Every structure is written in structure tokens, then in C-alpha cells.
């Protein structure tokens, strides 16, 4: 389950790109609507679909820089919403809404809310139900026309249960809470021979705690409490050869430290452990301009440094269709 949720996050990220018309009839837009599909080369059908829409309160210059960076370079107040459906989980839907307000002093504040409804059943044997709710806030500053620094707070809580009816009735209920503290700095450097470089560095600290309770034939037979702390450093660079085509590289350092307390059949056990991972990735993306308003984007990313518990070997693929007006 941990691996699947991690993969869903990656797929949602690679599929939710912001697109823009390369040669739009108007150089500005305020509405941005996207249809996205993200998947993996090793199991193309187990991808994730998403729809998103964003409204900018001030017109955005579509040709100020690389097409993908129009929203970032605009530095305008905006509000957006998204709905997503992963193919790997039937009857599971993700919803999100977010917005940002930019002050005349170049400070900006943002907020978001997320909700995931899980209601799945496999072969009339295994059932999973639950919900996941999260909210977050951001405060940042634009220190020039192409750079920002921001500080992030995010909280996420989940409550769910899983029931297996064969060969015996086993039910597992779990609750967990997750808090993230983060910061990032991002800048775009325009170049004469090429469109430019998009550079970003971010750091996140994630604190988790939760409980699992297992029942066998309606009798509690085990409980499991855990606490963990993760530290993540992420560095990314995207080189825009021209306004439509980019190639990129990224580095992720992830350090994990956790403890567990397990009780079963009147016996208990405690354990502590940790791990550290270094993950690299190469990526590329390209726009195809279909008309003055509609565009398409194709993206791919390959990760290195993964082990069997971190994710699949292969290529992440993103396909998006966009309308901006």
C-alpha cells in the first residue's frame, strides 16, 4: 500500500502540467483548463486521470517566457480546483481546491484543501473504505520578476478500514496524522541562445503518527502504533531549449527515522529503524500546438536509485490537453 500511494503521488504530479498555447490568437489568458493522464511504462493501464481548472484575477502574459512557466512568471492572484480518479482503485476520487493572493508589496499567501474518498471492493472478498482530508498554507515573497521564496505548512489526516472475508473475517482499521513543514526557493534565468533555466530547491520535514487495529472474527487480536520523521531535500533544474521543449534533471535525498509498538496475543514488541535514499531523475517535455486556444503536452521521466520497496523500474509518462483563453 505504501508503494501504491507513493506511485499515485508521482503519477498525479507528472500528469498535472500547466499548458499554454504557443501561438494563441491573444497573448493573454485568465482561464486555464486541463485534462491529464499520468501512468507508468510497466503498467500503462494503472494510471490516474485528472481534471483541473485555474482562474487568474489579472490577465497572464502567455509569451513572457517558456510556455509552462506562464503562471509562475505572472505572479498574479489565482484560484483553482482539481478532481482525480486513479485506475488502480475503483470508486476512489480525489478533490482539491487552492488559491493564492498576491499583495502589492510582492508578498503572497496561499491556502489549499484536499479530500480523498475511498470505497473499493475486489472480487467480493476484500473491501476498503475511508477518507483522507488535508489542508495547507503558504507564505512567500517574489524578490524579482522571476524568483520566489516560500514557506509551507501542510496537515493530512486519514481514517480507513479494510476487511477480508476469506478464509476468515479479518478487519484492519487505521488512523494516522501527518504534518509537513517546508520551504523552497525558485528562480528562472533567461538566456540569449536558449529560453532559459528553471531552478528550484526545496526542503520538507514530515512528521507522522498513527495506529492500526486488527480484528479476527470480531475479536481484537493485534494493535500497532507508529511514529516517524522524514527529511527531504529536492533539487531540480529544467533547461528550456526553446519555449516549447525542455529537458531536466532532479535529485532527491530522503532520510527516514521511525519507531513502532506492536501488541498481539498479550505480547508486545518495540522496534526502531531508519533509512536514507538518494534518488535521481531525468525528464523531458514538449508542447504540440493544435490551434490558437488548444494545446497538448507529452512528458516523460526516468528515476534512478530506486530499490524494490521504493517504486518500479521504468518510465513515468504524462499526457495532457489544455485550453487557455
DSSP 191: -
Cell numbers standing for residue 150: 516560500
Quote the CA–CA distance of 146 and 7 in Å, as a whole number: 31
The average pLDDT across 162-189 equals 80
Of the options 2.40.160, 3.40.50, 1.10.20, 1.20.950, the CATH number for the domain spanning 2-324:
2.40.160
Mean pLDDT of the chain: 83
Other Cβ atoms less than 10 A from the Cβ of 307: the count is 9
Kindly give, in sequence order, each residue whose CB lies less than 8 Å from that of residue 166, ignoring residues fewer than 6 positions away.
Answer: 125
pLDDT at 7: 47
pLDDT at 221: 66
- What is the tens place of the pLDDT at every residue in 279-301? 999 999 998 878 778 899 999 99
Instruction: Calculate the CA 227 to chain-centre distance.
Output: 23
pLDDT at 24: 38
Check if the beta carbon of residue 114 is closer than 8 Å to that of residue 93: no
- What is the tens place of the pLDDT at every residue in 237-246? 999 999 999 9
What single string gives the DSSP state of each residue in 107-134? EEEEEEEEEEEEEEEETTTEEEEEEEEE
pLDDT at 292: 73
Cα angle vertex 162, ends 156, 166, to 5°? 165
Q: Name the more confident of 39 and 200.
A: 200
Q: How confident is the model at residue 18 (pLDDT cuts 50, 70, 90)?
A: very low
Nearest by Cα to 94 from 113, 78, 122: 113
- What is the tens place of the pLDDT at every residue in 72-128? 999 999 999 999 988 766 678 899 999 999 999 999 999 999 998 877 666 555 566
Quote the CA–CA distance of 23 and 285 in Å, as a whole number: 18
Q: How far is CA 236 from CA 203, 241, 250, 320, in A?
A: 12, 16, 4, 21
Other Cβ atoms less than 10 A from the Cβ of 225: the count is 15
pLDDT at 91: 73
Domain spans, the chain = 2-324
Amino acid at each position: 500500500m505504501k508503494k501504491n500511494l507513493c506511485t499515485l503521488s508521482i503519477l498525479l504530479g507528472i500528469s498535472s502540467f500547466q499548458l499554454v498555447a504557443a501561438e494563441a490568437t491573444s497573448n493573454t489568458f485568465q482561464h486555464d483548463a486541463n485534462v491529464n493522464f499520468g501512468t507508468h511504462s510497466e503498467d500503462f493501464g494503472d494510471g490516474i486521470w485528472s481534471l483541473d481548472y485555474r482562474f487568474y484575477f489579472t490577465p497572464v502574459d502567455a509569451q513572457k517566457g517558456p510556455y509552462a512557466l506562464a503562471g509562475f512568471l505572472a505572479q498574479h492572484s489565482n484560484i483553482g480546483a482539481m478532481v482525480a480518479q486513479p485506475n488502480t482503485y475503483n470508486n476512489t476520487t480525489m478533490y482539491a481546491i487552492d488559491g493564492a493572493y498576491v499583495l502589492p508589496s510582492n508578498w503572497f499567501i496561499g491556502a489549499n484543501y484536499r479530500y480523498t474518498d475511498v470505497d473499493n471492493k475486489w472480487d467480493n472478498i476484500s473491501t476498503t473504505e475511508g477518507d483522507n482530508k488535508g489542508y495547507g498554507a503558504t507564505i512567500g515573497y517574489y524578490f524579482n520578476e522571476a524568483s520566489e521564496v516560500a514557506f509551507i505548512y501542510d496537515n493530512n489526516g486519514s481514517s480507513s478500514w479494510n476487511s477480508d472475508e476469506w478464509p476468515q473475517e479479518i478487519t484492519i482499521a487505521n488512523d494516522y496524522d501527518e504534518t509537513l513543514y517546508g520551504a523552497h526557493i525558485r528562480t528562472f534565468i533567461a538566456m540569449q541562445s536558449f529560453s532559459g533555466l528553471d531552478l528550484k530547491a526545496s526542503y520538507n520535514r514530515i512528521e507522522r503518527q498513527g495506529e492500526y487495529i486488527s480484528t479476527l472474527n470480531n475479536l481484537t487480536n493485534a494493535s500497532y502504533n507508529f511514529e516517524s520523521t522524514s527529511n527531504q531535500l529536492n533539487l531540480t533544474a529544467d533547461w528550456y531549449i526553446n519555449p516549447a521543449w525542455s529537458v531536466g534533471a532532479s535529485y532527491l535525498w530522503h532520510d527516514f527515522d521511525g519507531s513502532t509498538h506492536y501488541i498481539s496475543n498479550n505480547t508486545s514488541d518495540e522496534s526502531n529503524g531508519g533509512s536514507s535514499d538518494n534518488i535521481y531523475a531525468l525528464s523531458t517535455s514538449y508542447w504540440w500546438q493544435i490551434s490558437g486556444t488548444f494545446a497538448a503536452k507529452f512528458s516523460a521521466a526516468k528515476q534512478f536509485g530506486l530499490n524494490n520497496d521504493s517504486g518500479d523500474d521504468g518510465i513515468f509518462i504524462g499526457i495532457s490537453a489544455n485550453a487557455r483563453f
